[in-house]
Amino acid sequence: VFGGGPDTIARLVLKHFGLDPEKDVKFVATGGPETRIAAVKQGLIAATILSVPSDSQAAKLGFHVLARAHELFSYPEGGLVATTKKIKERPDETKRLIRAGIKTNRYIRTEREGTIQFLVDWMKVDRELAIATYDALGKSFSEDGSVPENRLRFVIEENKKIAKVDRDITPREIADFSILREAQKELGIKGK
């Protein structure tokens, strides 16, 4: 999807290597990972962006991983979002969810074997693929649930370019970390 996460990441990777995504590359919307892998295999497109574990599956088919975005730059790809109404009406529920997320992240970061087994059971993938997934992403989960301000600013600036917005936008305008701070405090974590 143009403008979606994979599109944005692909453009950032290309820029990192000195290419102009608007001039040097032609983007084609091809669908999900399986469709994109098939399109490369058939020679319909030259390359594609894949997330874990699709990148490992493609490597098994003989494809070469040219770059891993998370090794090039810090771009928070996921997060917890809720409406302002939901947060105001159910702050305790929101905080419980955030606390659970922090505990889950900490488990993922410290319990490699348990996480790999969960991936095998939940994703229904073989152990080799689960190991590749964990090794690629296991340590990328935030230990305290926070997103460093420089990462948030990076996302803001990239999206301002896409949306052609000139005004300054601060992280506080797009994110409210007050409930996260409460959850961190309850867990005995000093937030960043």
Q: Would you state the pLDDT for residue 51?
A: 85
Residues 91 and 51 reside in one and the same domain = no
∠131-133-138 over CA atoms, to 5°? 95
d(CA 183, CA 102): 9
Q: What residue has token string 């991983």?
A: 65
Taking the chain (192 residues) in consecutive chunks of 10 residues, what is each chunk's mean pLDDT? 73 93 90 91 92 87 88 74 91 95 95 97 92 88 87 85 90 88 94 64
Q: What pTM was computed for the model?
A: 0.76
Q: Would you state the pLDDT for residue 2?
A: 66
Q: Would you state the pLDDT for residue 46?
A: 92
Provide the number of structural domains found in the chain: 2
Residues 104 and 30 reside in one and the same domain = no
d(CA 70, CA 67): 9
Residues 177 and 156 reside in one and the same domain = yes
Question: Is position 192 within any domain?
Answer: no
CB 13 within 8 A of CB 72: yes
* Helices of type H across the chain: 5-16, 33-41, 54-60, 69-72, 84-89, 91-110, 112-123, 127-137, 149-163, 171-174, 178-186
* Residue after which a domain boundary falls, among 49, 72, 95: 72
Torsion of CA 50, 17, 5, 109, to 10 degrees: 70
d(CA 30, CA 21): 17
**Residue span of the structural domain in which 155 resides:** 84-186
CB 8 within 8 A of CB 2: no
Q: Would you state the pLDDT for residue 112?
A: 97
Q: Would you state the pLDDT for residue 48?
A: 92
* Residue after which a domain boundary falls, among 23, 49, 72: 72
Residues 103 and 148 reside in one and the same domain = yes
Q: Would you state the pLDDT for residue 77?
A: 65
